[in-house]
Structure 1
Amino acid sequence: MDNPLNSDVLARLSEHPEGISEYELLKSLAEHPFLVQIDVGGDLGLFRRHFALMNCLYGLRQQLAEDGWGLGISAMHIQLQPSLGQGEGQGLTLSDPLASYYLDWQEFDNTGAEEVEALLTGFWRRYDALEHQSQALEDLGLDENADWRMIRRQYRSLAAQHHPDKGGNCQDFIRIRRAFEQLARLRGKGA
């Protein structure tokens, strides 16, 4: 399906050679008939507008690559760019899992309110974990370069030192355990 946003998005990108954020681009297209048509309100409506725009951008990136242009795509910065080499954009698009996702309209059709809720819940859990990562590392006396092996070793050492059964402070032990669990969730490890 040819995305109905293509010409309007290209026009907006041409008006902003320095680039534009996804938010600003969507805001400038808020009254576009296609976006109005697919918007069902709430989080699902937001997902649908986002998906339609990303479908447009990744499709345009493929088309523009054939003409020697690149399209940088991120939520904070979308920008037309001269391509650095022959076929560069095409290879990038083919190996990009986000492009594969957004270019598949079945993903749009198969995503309902429950799936959007699950995506948002997962996002906020990861965000919360990232937000607290630096504090958790500090609680364990580690810096941000610590790998999982270092985290686990430091936790075991501190847990043994602060465990209430070994004369340690209960609050310190709880703080250390929470820090370890936070880092385990963030890194996909079982605590």
Structure 2
Amino acid sequence: MLNPLVDTIFLIICDKKVHKVHTLAGKLSHRRAFPQLDSEPNKELFKKNFLIMNALYQLQTELLQEGLFLSVSSMHIQLVDISKNTPLPPDPLRDYYLDWENYETTKEEVLELLDTFWQSFAPPSIPTNIPTTVIQGICKHWQLPYPYQRQQLKRTWRQQAVLQHPDKDAGCEQRFKQLKEEYDLLKAHLAVID
């Protein structure tokens, strides 16, 4: 199935500069390329991301015959010149995003995928000796009660992350990273007191 975003995304990436999925999403939203895809915010975010990645991988395959390689990852999308008919390396993400059956997924599957994505922002090691006053300060800022339960933390984290996700128009990559660090501290604190 031809993705309607293919031509619009090609016009954006043909400058051969490095792009990111969240900046592409912003440019596409600015051009009003997306209708509302889902009423549930996490599924809406997933579907936008799916359509962008699907279009990128369709372009990657098409452009290869023209001597162009489209490098595709969430933080590095770039069109470069190569020898014609260079084979594409195996890529499980390409297989996933080119399978339209993956577009319609359950809310639970989307949350699991988003959790996996957000976990990739985790720092290599999380200190466990954070003073309680620091944890309480984060809780106050997050409007999370202290002491808190694992489910309360998870729910609050998801709400915060959806609002600040870099793929959102109002999202902020720096704030998202900060939230992830705070979330990791709050989880580590839970592990210590459990």
* Superposed displacement of residue 105, structure 1: 0.4
| In structure 1, distance between residues paired with 2:22 and 2:116 | 21
Which amino acid counterpart does residue 9 of structure 2 have in structure 1? V
- Aligned pair 1:79/2:71, yes or no? no
| In structure 2, distance between residues paired with 1:47 and 1:104 | 14
| In structure 1, distance between residues paired with 2:115 and 2:13 | 32
**Can you give the 5+ residue segments of structure 1 that lack an aligned partner in the other structure?**
137-181, 183-191
**Can you give the 5+ residue segments of structure 2 that lack an aligned partner in the other structure?**
129-187, 189-194
1:39–1:9 CA distance, 2 compared to 1 (3 A)? farther
Runs of 4+ in 1 over 6 A off after TM superposition: none
* Superposed displacement of residue 39, structure 1: 4.2
Q: Which of these residues, 109, 113, 138, is aligned with residue 115 of structure 1? A: 109
| Alpha-carbon contact 1:30-1:36 (below 8 Å) kept | no
| Alpha-carbon contact 2:68-2:84 (below 8 Å) kept | no
- Equivalent in the alignment of 2:152: none
* Superposed displacement of residue 81, structure 1: 0.7
CA RMSD after TM alignment: 2.4
- Equivalent in the alignment of 2:5: 5
Which amino acid counterpart does residue 41 of structure 2 have in structure 1? G
Aligned residues, how many? 129
Identity %: 32
Q: What aligned pairs does 1:1-150 form with structure 2 within 5 A after superposition?
A: 1-14=1-14, 16-30=15-29, 35-83=34-82, 85-88=83-86, 90-92=87-89, 95-109=90-104, 111-125=105-119, 127-128=121-122, 131-133=123-125
- Which protein, 1 or 2, shows the higher relative CO under an 8 Å CA cutoff with sep ≥ 6? 2
1:39–1:17 CA distance, 2 compared to 1 (3 A)? farther
Which amino acid counterpart does residue 116 of structure 1 have in structure 2? V
| In structure 1, distance between residues paired with 2:124 and 2:47 | 30
| In structure 2, distance between residues paired with 1:23 and 1:102 | 16
Q: Which has the larger Rg?
A: 1
| Alpha-carbon contact 2:57-2:97 (below 8 Å) kept | yes
| In structure 1, distance between residues paired with 2:114 and 2:69 | 30
SS in 2 for 1:80: strand
| Alpha-carbon contact 1:39-1:49 (below 8 Å) kept | no
* Superposed displacement of residue 80, structure 1: 1.0
Which amino acid counterpart does residue 20 of structure 2 have in structure 1? S
* Superposed displacement of residue 133, structure 1: 2.8
- Equivalent in the alignment of 2:176: none
Please identify which structure carries the higher helix content.
1
| Alpha-carbon contact 2:20-2:74 (below 8 Å) kept | yes
TM-score (norm 1): 0.59
| Alpha-carbon contact 2:36-2:44 (below 8 Å) kept | no
